[in-house]
Amino acid sequence: MDEAKADEYAAQRRLDEAHSLRDDSLMHLSAADGSGHAESGDHDGQNVEDMEEFDEMEFVELNRKIAKHTKGGDKMGKVMKPLRPSKCPLTSEMKTTRAASRVIERLGIERVQEIQTEYAALKSKFGEHEYEKANAMIRNLMAMGLSQIEIRGILGVGGYRLQRLYSAQLTKPHEGHYISDATIHVPVISTIPNLCDVVLKKMSSFPQLLERITFTPINPSEIDPQDTMLMKLIEDSQVLLGDPKACLKVLPVARNLKWMQSTFAGVDALLHQEKRNFALTRAGGIMGVHMAQYVLGWIIAKERHFMHAVQFQAKREFRPLEMRYRHFKEVTVGILGFGDIGMAIGKLVFNAGFRVVGLKRDIAHHAGIDCGIEVSENLEYVLSRADYVVNVLPSTQATRHCLSGDVLRVCAKKKACFINVGRGDVIDEASLVNAFKRKWLSSAVLDVFAVEPLPIDSVLWTHPLVTITPHVAALSMAEDVADVF
């Protein structure tokens, strides 16, 4: 390759590298702003006319109007203002294809095919050794002078991984501890039906991994400390999948435990036990839809008087007037606790046509605003607006008994229905009964209680305004737990 051609090659490589890094930066920014959408790299949607490093463009998209947020708009401060047409760089696919062509021209098609075959062979295998070999291979290509975009072009490796490897080559390589080829035994201590079978089915897509793992289903009610074989299995296991309360019994025996995956979203039962030298992950993000369906079901059942229909049918009475209902736009649902589960409830209720206002400690940049749901930091404001008060708050020092006493007096105007799917200690029993007596609340649907099972001498069992369900608003399902695991 003569000097002029080498200079041209280097200049083109630097330009493609700038495009590539810019695409990756935009993807990082998109993830950081909470939008949940990364730019695809086709048309990145950013005006680049004033950015010197992108003066050399391949085409101009004349029909596309770019919008930005400006001041002085609606109450959320958002106004969409069109800008002049934006110049756009090459698509990621076009850039990687062109970069791959340059590498073929430089190294030759046979050498490139050898590299691709070697990398594919390493990538197809499971194990830390092969992964490190693949990384070492990529670092060697970097040492040969290939840029990120060129390596992506011939190997199809993601940009983020290459950025990490670029940083790693500047420092001394770290000696990792490799996972052995020994079989990993995972005890599954759970009452969830068919959990082992569903996990195995989910893992069937990873045959090399599945060959090295065995799952042993254990019924929590059959755990016997005198069963030496079972205790030995638990003692030797590094991974544990199970229900928190059931696993609490065996944690003192699990001396080699490195990671426990809970089958429940709540792990309160494990937070106060002594063993601390293992990673604990909860089944987060799987309860939202279940909770939302429960809440919406009860709201509709009460608005449409479904319980009355059963009574009228038993008496053989045809009474349409008693089953008239309000227009859904007149009904406001207040949700106490607007995290992932609260948002799932809010969106489903909102999409059913009801008004929604959520309570959240910090409402800055909250996603509920973007989908039309009102969010507030003021508890009294949410309670006063609500026809239904839905509690999703966790049990913390700040939330325990936060509705006790006369806090619910602000509900008197609308006589709200209280639906509790969060934690039972948000209000004490005496305060709840007093709210009924003073007509601050019209009724309550309770799925959680401060003490469970609910004591048989509790007045809530026979109270005419209370409906009780046995903590079943959201059950852990095998399919959901398998996805998390």
Q: What is the 3-state secondary structure (H, E, C) of 64-122?
A: CCCEEECCCCCCCCCCEEECCCCEECCCHHHHHHHHHHHHHHHHCHHHHHHHHHHHHHH
Average pLDDT score over the chain:
78
The single residue listed with the structure tokens 């930066």 is 25
What's the pLDDT tens digit per position in 249-308? 999 999 999 999 999 988 888 888 888 899 999 888 889 999 999 999 999 999 999 999
Least confident residue range of 45-54, 93-102, 419-428: 45-54
pLDDT of residue 152: 74
CA distance 217 to 186: 9
Whole-Å CA distances, 78 to 123, 369, 370, 373: 46, 11, 10, 16
Q: Given a cut of 50, is residue 51 above it in pLDDT?
A: no
Name the residue with higher pLDDT: 397 or 366: 397
Both tokens of 52, joined, read: 């010197």
Instruction: Find the angle CA(407)-CA(409)-CA(412) to the nearest 5 degrees.
Output: 145
In terms of pLDDT, which residue wins out, 453 or 212? 453
Mean per-residue pLDDT for 330-339?
96
Q: Which residues pair with 388 in a beta bridge?
A: 333, 417
3-state secondary structure of 194: coil
pLDDT at 209: 77
**What digits encode the pLDDT tens for the residues 217-227?**
999 999 999 99
Rounded average pLDDT over 42-57: 34
Res 72: pLDDT: 42
- The confidence score (pLDDT) of residue 179 equals 45
Q: What confidence tens digit (pLDDT) does each residue in 252-261 have?
A: 999 999 999 9
Q: Please report the domains of the chain, with CATH numbers, ordered by start residue.
A: 3-44+89-168 (no CATH), 184-281 (3.40.50.720), 288-468 (3.40.50.720)
The residue count of the chain comes to: 485
| Residue 409, pLDDT score | 98
The answer to whether residue 39 scores a pLDDT higher than 70 is: no
Q: What is the arithmetic mean of pLDDT over 409-434? A: 98
For the cut 90, the answer to whether the pLDDT of residue 345 exceeds it is: yes
Q: Is the pTM of this model over 0.75?
A: no
For residue 370, the model assigns a pLDDT of 60
Q: Are 383 and 406 in contact, with CB atoms under 8 Å apart?
A: no
Query: Tokens in use for 18?
Result: 């700038």
pLDDT at 402: 97
Torsions phi, psi of 217, nearest 5?
-70, 135
- Give the pLDDT band of residue 12 (cuts 50, 70, 90): low
Q: Report whether pLDDT(375) > 80.
A: yes
Phi, psi of 348 (to 5 degrees): -65, -45
Strand 332-336 vs strand 355-359: parallel, antiparallel, or unpaired?
parallel
Cα distances (angstroms) measured from residue 79 to each of 75, 117, 135, 329: 10, 52, 46, 27
475: pLDDT strictly greater than 50 = yes
72 sits in the region (left: phi over 0; alpha: psi -120 to 50; else beta) called left
Of 262, 254, 264, 260, give the one whose Cα is nearest residue 279: 260
Query: Greatest CA span in the chain, whole angstroms?
Result: 99
For residues 233 and 240, the answer to whether their CB atoms sit within 8 Å is no
- In the block, residue with structure tokens 């110049």: 87
